[in-house]
Amino acid sequence: MTERAWVLVSALVLVLTATLWSLWLSTGALDPVQVAEREGEALLSLYRVSEWQDDGRVRLDKGSRTAIVTGVDPSILIGEDISVAVVPTPDGTWTATWVERHPGRPAKRWLGLVGMGAAAGLLVFGTRLRDRRMWFRG
Amino acid sequence: MADLVTHLCTALLPGVLIAGPRATWLALGVVAPDLAARVPGLALDILRRLSVPIPINIEAPFAVMHMPIGVLCGAVLVSQIVHPEQRRQALVWLIAGGALHLAVDALQDHHGHGYFLLFPFSTQRYELGWMGSEATVAWAPWLALLTAVVWGVRWAWLRQRARSGRAIRK
């Protein structure tokens, strides 16, 4: 196969895989409700504590996903990142069975920024343009 | 996922033995899965927190870039911006970097919620669970220091060799 054909096939496979992924997600396979139905409990992995409500419930957010959870350790603060194993309650909220705190998460985000800067540096200082393409210095 | 500094160090530490463009491609390949798959989601998260109306799950398709099939296809596409003389080698080392990234990530423990390494052929998740998901944060500064020292020693050795070469020629 020619190089152009490989590029075309790669692009098609990538688009197809991304479409399949989105379709599979839209079935709710990873949705906590379906996971809890299947496995007894669901894991809300790496959610951020957004709000402590007056009734002792906590609102957790991750991107566009939100969960209201009871039974979370009151010492956990707003803004903390936690993972919670939860079981559904009849009113549509969740009860925590165990909670894991992630105190290293903010540092990890900073390290992500540092890593991005270093990668950008490698690109800027390790390459130059040659024939309108990237040439990596030896 | 392990942090990006640790990922870079896992490429740059052995990269000192190959050096040159191959080490750069390996390093870029090792950061690419996170940059392509996670950064769009993080950026959209920030916008959502600023109350920008972003549709739900719009970032979901980027997740395939953190899977072996996304790493392979992404490397083929990205290698097209590299000069044709270096392209094939760049492709090989970019894929090696992506594989190294996924291997390091698979060492972590997410309570059984590992990585979709065989999607779209299987929806099984895989992880070895040998270390916590933030365990690398404590090592990252030391790894970065070690990497800087190793590359510094290499630079000094090359400089010394060049000087002695010039002295012999004189």
End-to-end Cα separation, chain B, in angstroms: 54
The domain tally of chain B equals 1
Tell me, yes or no, whether A16 and A49 share the same domain.
no
Tell me the mean pLDDT in the region A24-42.
Answer: 88
What is the residue-wise DSSP string for A9-41?
HHHHHHHHHHHHHHHHHHTTTT-HHHHHHHHSS
Q: What's the whole-model pTM score? A: 0.92
Tell me, yes or no, whether A113 and A66 share the same domain.
no
Domain extent at residue B49? 4-169
Chain B's closest residue to A15, CA to CA, is B61
Considering only CB atoms, B31 lies closest to which of A45, A83, A119, namely A119
CATH of the domain at A65: 2.40.50.140
Tell me, yes or no, whether A40 and A22 share the same domain.
no
Residues of B in contact with A20 (CB under 8 A): 119-120
Tell me, yes or no, whether A44 and A21 share the same domain.
no
Rounded to whole angstroms, the Cα distance separating B110 from B16 reads 32
Contact B7, B144 (CB under 8 A): no
Domain extent at residue A8? 1-29
Those residues of chain B that have pLDDT short of 70 are none
Tell me, yes or no, whether A66 and A91 share the same domain.
yes
Tell me, yes or no, whether A41 and A96 share the same domain.
yes
What would the pLDDT profile of A49-106 be if each residue is shown by its tens digit?
999 998 889 999 987 788 999 999 889 999 999 999 999 988 888 999 999 999 999 9
Residue A1: pLDDT over 90: no
What would the pLDDT profile of B70-79 be if each residue is shown by its tens digit?
999 999 999 9
Q: A128 — contact with chain B (CB < 8 Å)?
A: no
Tell me, yes or no, whether A25 and A38 share the same domain.
no
Residue A37: pLDDT over 80: yes
The domain tally of chain A equals 3
